[in-house]
Amino acid sequence: MSNEAHGEFSPDESLTASLEALEPELRSRLKATLLDDMLTEYDARFLVDFVQGLSVEFSEAFLEVFQNWAVEEEAHYAAFRGICKLFRPGLQADLDARRPDFGGIEHLFGSEFEILCLLAYDELATIRGYRGNLPLYDLLGAPFGSFLRTVVADEGRHYASFRQLLFDCHGDKLADAPAIIRRIRGADGAPYQSTFVLDHDDPIYGTEIFDEAAAVLERQLTQNLPAA
Protein backbone atom coordinates (compact mmCIF):
# COMPACT_ATOMS: atom_id res chain seq x y z
CA MET A 1 0.00 0.00 0.00
CA SER A 2 1.24 3.46 -0.75
CA ASN A 3 1.93 5.99 1.97
CA GLU A 4 -1.12 7.94 0.82
CA ALA A 5 -3.38 5.10 1.91
CA HIS A 6 -1.93 5.39 5.41
CA GLY A 7 -3.41 8.86 5.78
CA GLU A 8 -0.44 10.81 4.45
CA PHE A 9 -2.35 12.53 1.67
CA SER A 10 -1.90 16.23 2.41
CA PRO A 11 -4.23 18.70 0.71
CA ASP A 12 -2.58 21.86 -0.55
CA GLU A 13 -3.66 25.17 -2.05
CA SER A 14 -4.21 23.61 -5.46
CA LEU A 15 -6.87 21.27 -4.05
CA THR A 16 -8.65 24.13 -2.32
CA ALA A 17 -8.49 26.17 -5.52
CA SER A 18 -9.89 23.26 -7.54
CA LEU A 19 -12.78 22.92 -5.11
CA GLU A 20 -13.65 26.60 -5.05
CA ALA A 21 -13.45 26.87 -8.85
CA LEU A 22 -16.34 24.44 -9.33
CA GLU A 23 -19.87 25.50 -10.09
CA PRO A 24 -21.78 25.99 -6.81
CA GLU A 25 -24.05 22.97 -7.25
CA LEU A 26 -21.16 20.66 -8.14
CA ARG A 27 -19.01 22.07 -5.34
CA SER A 28 -21.80 21.44 -2.85
CA ARG A 29 -22.21 17.86 -4.10
CA LEU A 30 -18.49 17.16 -3.82
CA LYS A 31 -18.25 18.64 -0.34
CA ALA A 32 -21.20 16.54 0.81
CA THR A 33 -19.63 13.40 -0.65
CA LEU A 34 -16.26 14.06 0.99
CA LEU A 35 -17.87 14.77 4.34
CA ASP A 36 -19.97 11.61 4.09
CA ASP A 37 -16.87 9.56 3.29
CA MET A 38 -14.96 11.02 6.22
CA LEU A 39 -17.79 10.46 8.70
CA THR A 40 -18.23 6.85 7.64
CA GLU A 41 -14.52 6.14 7.98
CA TYR A 42 -14.64 7.76 11.43
CA ASP A 43 -17.51 5.44 12.35
CA ALA A 44 -15.28 2.38 11.96
CA ARG A 45 -14.32 2.85 15.62
CA PHE A 46 -17.97 2.38 16.59
CA LEU A 47 -18.13 -0.89 14.69
CA VAL A 48 -14.95 -2.08 16.38
CA ASP A 49 -16.37 -1.31 19.82
CA PHE A 50 -19.66 -3.00 18.98
CA VAL A 51 -18.03 -6.17 17.65
CA GLN A 52 -15.68 -6.38 20.62
CA GLY A 53 -18.68 -6.22 22.95
CA LEU A 54 -20.55 -9.09 21.32
CA SER A 55 -20.98 -12.48 22.99
CA VAL A 56 -19.42 -14.16 19.97
CA GLU A 57 -16.40 -16.44 19.96
CA PHE A 58 -13.94 -15.13 17.38
CA SER A 59 -11.04 -16.99 15.81
CA GLU A 60 -7.52 -15.62 16.06
CA ALA A 61 -7.49 -15.31 12.28
CA PHE A 62 -10.58 -13.10 12.35
CA LEU A 63 -9.21 -10.89 15.11
CA GLU A 64 -5.96 -10.33 13.22
CA VAL A 65 -7.68 -9.42 9.95
CA PHE A 66 -10.23 -7.24 11.73
CA GLN A 67 -7.51 -5.34 13.60
CA ASN A 68 -5.59 -4.68 10.39
CA TRP A 69 -8.80 -3.54 8.71
CA ALA A 70 -9.52 -1.10 11.56
CA VAL A 71 -6.04 0.44 11.31
CA GLU A 72 -6.45 1.08 7.59
CA GLU A 73 -9.93 2.55 7.96
CA GLU A 74 -8.57 4.95 10.58
CA ALA A 75 -5.89 5.99 8.08
CA HIS A 76 -8.55 6.65 5.45
CA TYR A 77 -10.45 8.78 7.96
CA ALA A 78 -7.35 10.84 8.72
CA ALA A 79 -6.81 11.57 5.04
CA PHE A 80 -10.42 12.57 4.42
CA ARG A 81 -10.39 14.72 7.53
CA GLY A 82 -7.42 16.66 6.20
CA ILE A 83 -9.56 17.69 3.25
CA CYS A 84 -12.86 18.27 5.03
CA LYS A 85 -11.35 20.59 7.62
CA LEU A 86 -10.58 22.99 4.77
CA PHE A 87 -14.26 23.71 4.22
CA ARG A 88 -16.12 22.45 7.30
CA PRO A 89 -16.01 24.75 10.34
CA GLY A 90 -16.76 22.97 13.59
CA LEU A 91 -15.69 19.59 12.25
CA GLN A 92 -14.75 18.21 15.66
CA ALA A 93 -18.17 19.09 17.03
CA ASP A 94 -19.73 17.07 14.19
CA LEU A 95 -17.63 14.08 15.19
CA ASP A 96 -18.25 14.43 18.91
CA ALA A 97 -22.00 14.46 18.30
CA ARG A 98 -22.08 11.11 16.48
CA ARG A 99 -23.94 8.32 18.27
CA PRO A 100 -24.15 4.89 16.62
CA ASP A 101 -27.32 2.82 16.76
CA PHE A 102 -26.88 -0.85 15.85
CA GLY A 103 -30.41 -1.79 16.88
CA GLY A 104 -31.72 -2.07 13.34
CA ILE A 105 -28.92 -4.37 12.16
CA GLU A 106 -27.96 -6.23 15.34
CA HIS A 107 -29.54 -9.39 13.92
CA LEU A 108 -26.75 -9.50 11.32
CA PHE A 109 -24.04 -10.04 13.96
CA GLY A 110 -25.00 -13.46 15.32
CA SER A 111 -21.73 -15.27 14.60
CA GLU A 112 -18.29 -14.80 13.10
CA PHE A 113 -19.59 -16.33 9.87
CA GLU A 114 -22.47 -13.86 9.65
CA ILE A 115 -20.22 -10.92 10.49
CA LEU A 116 -17.75 -11.91 7.77
CA CYS A 117 -20.58 -12.12 5.24
CA LEU A 118 -21.71 -8.65 6.31
CA LEU A 119 -18.22 -7.16 6.09
CA ALA A 120 -17.57 -8.75 2.70
CA TYR A 121 -20.88 -7.53 1.27
CA ASP A 122 -20.30 -4.04 2.65
CA GLU A 123 -16.84 -3.81 1.09
CA LEU A 124 -18.17 -4.90 -2.31
CA ALA A 125 -20.93 -2.31 -2.31
CA THR A 126 -18.56 0.40 -1.06
CA ILE A 127 -16.04 -0.34 -3.80
CA ARG A 128 -18.73 0.18 -6.40
CA GLY A 129 -19.79 3.42 -4.77
CA TYR A 130 -16.26 4.79 -4.71
CA ARG A 131 -15.75 3.81 -8.34
CA GLY A 132 -18.99 5.47 -9.34
CA ASN A 133 -17.87 8.71 -7.70
CA LEU A 134 -14.37 8.74 -9.22
CA PRO A 135 -15.29 11.36 -11.87
CA LEU A 136 -16.43 13.59 -9.02
CA TYR A 137 -13.27 13.03 -6.96
CA ASP A 138 -11.08 13.63 -10.02
CA LEU A 139 -12.30 17.23 -10.09
CA LEU A 140 -9.92 17.84 -7.18
CA GLY A 141 -6.91 17.00 -9.32
CA ALA A 142 -4.70 14.05 -10.16
CA PRO A 143 -3.09 13.56 -6.71
CA PHE A 144 -6.44 13.21 -4.98
CA GLY A 145 -7.77 10.99 -7.76
CA SER A 146 -4.73 8.76 -7.29
CA PHE A 147 -5.33 8.66 -3.54
CA LEU A 148 -8.95 7.59 -4.04
CA ARG A 149 -7.89 4.79 -6.34
CA THR A 150 -5.55 3.59 -3.62
CA VAL A 151 -8.45 3.63 -1.17
CA VAL A 152 -10.49 1.54 -3.63
CA ALA A 153 -7.60 -0.92 -3.83
CA ASP A 154 -7.49 -1.09 -0.03
CA GLU A 155 -11.20 -1.89 0.09
CA GLY A 156 -10.65 -4.59 -2.51
CA ARG A 157 -7.99 -6.19 -0.33
CA HIS A 158 -10.31 -5.99 2.67
CA TYR A 159 -12.99 -7.81 0.71
CA ALA A 160 -10.53 -10.49 -0.38
CA SER A 161 -9.36 -10.97 3.22
CA PHE A 162 -12.90 -11.38 4.56
CA ARG A 163 -13.81 -13.76 1.73
CA GLN A 164 -10.71 -15.86 2.33
CA LEU A 165 -11.56 -16.16 6.02
CA LEU A 166 -14.99 -17.44 5.02
CA PHE A 167 -13.34 -20.15 2.93
CA ASP A 168 -10.58 -20.99 5.41
CA CYS A 169 -12.53 -20.91 8.67
CA HIS A 170 -16.14 -21.51 7.67
CA GLY A 171 -16.11 -23.72 4.61
CA ASP A 172 -18.63 -26.03 6.24
CA LYS A 173 -21.16 -23.19 6.50
CA LEU A 174 -21.01 -21.79 2.97
CA ALA A 175 -24.31 -23.41 2.01
CA ASP A 176 -25.93 -21.07 4.53
CA ALA A 177 -24.44 -17.97 2.88
CA PRO A 178 -27.30 -17.22 0.44
CA ALA A 179 -29.88 -16.85 3.22
CA ILE A 180 -27.54 -14.67 5.27
CA ILE A 181 -26.68 -12.49 2.27
CA ARG A 182 -30.38 -12.03 1.55
CA ARG A 183 -30.87 -10.73 5.09
CA ILE A 184 -27.94 -8.35 4.68
CA ARG A 185 -29.21 -7.13 1.32
CA GLY A 186 -32.64 -6.57 2.84
CA ALA A 187 -31.17 -4.33 5.52
CA ASP A 188 -29.19 -2.15 3.11
CA GLY A 189 -30.64 1.16 2.03
CA ALA A 190 -32.22 1.97 5.41
CA PRO A 191 -31.28 5.29 7.05
CA TYR A 192 -27.66 5.14 8.15
CA GLN A 193 -27.05 5.14 11.91
CA SER A 194 -23.26 5.69 12.22
CA THR A 195 -22.57 1.94 12.19
CA PHE A 196 -19.90 2.02 9.44
CA VAL A 197 -21.46 -0.95 7.65
CA LEU A 198 -24.43 -0.41 5.32
CA ASP A 199 -23.60 3.29 5.07
CA HIS A 200 -24.86 3.43 1.51
CA ASP A 201 -27.00 6.56 1.49
CA ASP A 202 -24.90 8.55 -0.99
CA PRO A 203 -26.88 9.25 -4.20
CA ILE A 204 -24.49 7.00 -6.13
CA TYR A 205 -25.96 3.95 -4.40
CA GLY A 206 -29.15 2.17 -5.26
CA THR A 207 -30.81 -1.16 -5.88
CA GLU A 208 -28.49 -2.06 -8.74
CA ILE A 209 -25.34 -1.79 -6.60
CA PHE A 210 -26.93 -3.59 -3.65
CA ASP A 211 -28.20 -6.45 -5.82
CA GLU A 212 -24.89 -6.76 -7.64
CA ALA A 213 -22.88 -6.92 -4.42
CA ALA A 214 -25.18 -9.58 -3.01
CA ALA A 215 -25.10 -11.63 -6.22
CA VAL A 216 -21.31 -11.47 -6.58
CA LEU A 217 -20.70 -12.48 -2.97
CA GLU A 218 -23.19 -15.35 -3.12
CA ARG A 219 -21.74 -16.62 -6.39
CA GLN A 220 -18.16 -16.51 -5.17
CA LEU A 221 -18.97 -18.25 -1.89
CA THR A 222 -21.12 -21.02 -3.34
CA GLN A 223 -19.83 -21.69 -6.86
CA ASN A 224 -17.80 -24.73 -5.79
CA LEU A 225 -20.42 -26.29 -3.54
CA PRO A 226 -21.94 -29.62 -4.61
CA ALA A 227 -25.19 -29.28 -6.50
CA ALA A 228 -28.23 -29.68 -4.28
Q: Mind listing the pLDDT tens digit for each residue in 192-224?
A: 999 999 999 888 899 999 999 999 999 999 998
The whole model's pTM is what?
A: 0.93
Number of domains in the chain: 1
Neighbours of 8 (CB within 10 A): 13
Please report which confidence band the pLDDT of residue 162 belongs to, taking 50, 70 and 90 as the band edges.
Answer: very high
For residue 48, being part of any structural domain is answered with yes
For residue 21, being part of any structural domain is answered with yes
Residue-averaged pLDDT of the chain: 92
Question: How far is 162 from 117, CA to CA, in rounded Å?
Answer: 8
Q: What is the 3 state secondary structure string of 181-201? A: HHHHHHHCCCCCCCCCCCCCC
For residue 202, being part of any structural domain is answered with yes
Q: Number of helices and strands (H, E) in the chain?
A: 10, 0
For residue 37, being part of any structural domain is answered with yes
Provide the 3-class DSSP secondary structure of residue 38.
helix
CATH number at residue 108: 1.10.620
For residue 227, being part of any structural domain is answered with no
The answer to which of 14-23, 50-59, 168-177 has the lowest mean pLDDT is 14-23
> Where in the sequence is the domain holding 86, given as residue range(s)?
3-222
Backbone angles phi, psi at 19, to 5 degrees: -65, -45
For residue 228, being part of any structural domain is answered with no
For residue 200, being part of any structural domain is answered with yes
